[in-house]
Amino acid sequence: MSNHWLNISERELKRYVGRLDQLAGIQSYVLQDGKAWGSRCASVYTGSGLEFTVYLDRCMDISHARYKGIPLGWRSTPGDVAPFYYEPEGIRWLRSYFGGLLTTCGLTNVGPPCEKSELNGDGLPGRISNTPGEDVCIEKRWVNERYELVLRGKMRQSALFMENLVLEREIKTYLGANAIWIRDKVVNDGFRKSPFMILYHINIGWPVVSENAKVCIPAIKTVPRDEVGSMAPDPWYEITPPAEGYSERVYFHTLDNSLDETIIGIYQSHTTEEIERNFHGVYVKYSPKKLPKLVQWKMLGVGEYVIGLEPSNAGVLGRDETERRGEMDYLYPGEIRTFELEIGIIDDGVAESYFRSFVEHF
């Protein structure tokens, strides 16, 4: 059936439906099982086949995402975990890491636990991803003949005598859209200079990630984090089947940071039984000027089959090492930073042409 109705005007569309949530909308609810008990969530559906869940009590990150029933994000074994189960010590953050299409890391440490991060109660990638949203607002509205679906909220990371940082997030999509737009504003609401590290952990899983797909990153230079990556027989852009005993690999990509916008993604050059004919993968669009570090996480083990695309302002080496290298970013009292990301579907349109030409260069 054609989706021509997605382009009908507001007045004309209302002739066909009693409520617009027949086509697209946002449903909020509270999870009631296991370690997720008591968590607020909101599920968004656009009418195009794109559906995703915003975990309101976990930094308004995106836990589930599907397109026409096809999973987009990877899910870690702990699943959904309420923020009061957060364990900051060492690497125990992994016990509440649900993966998902998006996990936000920071705001004062990203990477391994270190002396300064442990003193401040930060574990592996910081604590913001376990911070519940405040002043959460859900809005469904017509703007210039487009039916928009919007979620807003604030996450505050603060402690007496330490940092006082506020992340204000807006997540937006609209009727008929195949993409999600995320706009973050980070404010130093205190009176002290604060280290500032933020990383967007975008986790793509099977069947988008498969041996029929490639990682597409317009890198000027790529450096493996360690010997595991440098000695790997397959390059960073290749995706192999799930393997026993696979060791995770991490790559640091250098992009053209003079650009206001770049596009990266996981691209399927041809369809498989698991992928619809006009669906070729997932893309991420963002500004390298604002997020100059790009980390790629390649974990293709059995039961742990995922590619992480991770734009960041400060990398993943941890607070101590980042400061030692003179690469730490700081937020001064009253300072504001904004970041925008677009996560969407690679279909048979312009995006598919871009990625197809990119893959031809491998």
The domain locations on the chain are: 4-359
Beta bridge partners of 307: 204, 298
Q: Enter the CATH code of domain 4-359.
A: 2.70.98.10
Tell me the two tokens of residue 71. Answer: 């999973």
Q: Which residue has the higher pLDDT, 350 or 317?
A: 317
Query: How many CB atoms lie under 10 A from the CB of residue 361?
Result: 7
Query: How high is the pLDDT of residue 181?
Result: 98
CB 158 within 8 A of CB 165: yes
Side chain identity at 305, as an amino acid letter? Y
Side chain identity at 235, as an amino acid letter? P
Closest CA to 354 of 286, 285, 276, 294: 285
Average pLDDT over residues 89-112: 95
How far apart (Å, rounded) are the C-alpha atoms in residues 333 and 327?
19
How far apart (Å, rounded) are the C-alpha atoms in residues 101 and 262?
19
Tell me the two tokens of residue 238. Answer: 């290749």
CB 334 within 8 A of CB 191: no
Average pLDDT over residues 259-282: 85
Helices (H), the chain: 10-13, 115-119, 227-230, 319-324, 350-359
Residue with token string 């995320």:
182
Output phi, psi for 304, to 5 deg: -135, 65
How far apart (Å, rounded) are the C-alpha atoms in residues 178 and 180?
7
Give the confidence band of 1 by pLDDT, cuts at 50, 70, 90.
very low
The helix/strand count (H/E) of the chain reads as: 5, 22
How far apart (Å, rounded) are the C-alpha atoms in residues 176 and 50?
8
For residue 352, pLDDT over 70 is answered with yes
Q: Which residue has the higher pLDDT, 118 or 58?
A: 58
CA 331 from chain centre, in angstroms, equals 22
Give the confidence band of 273 by pLDDT, cuts at 50, 70, 90.
low
pTM for this predicted structure:
0.96
As to burial, measured by CB atoms within 10 angstroms (0-12 exposed, 13-18 middle, 19+ buried), residue 1 is exposed
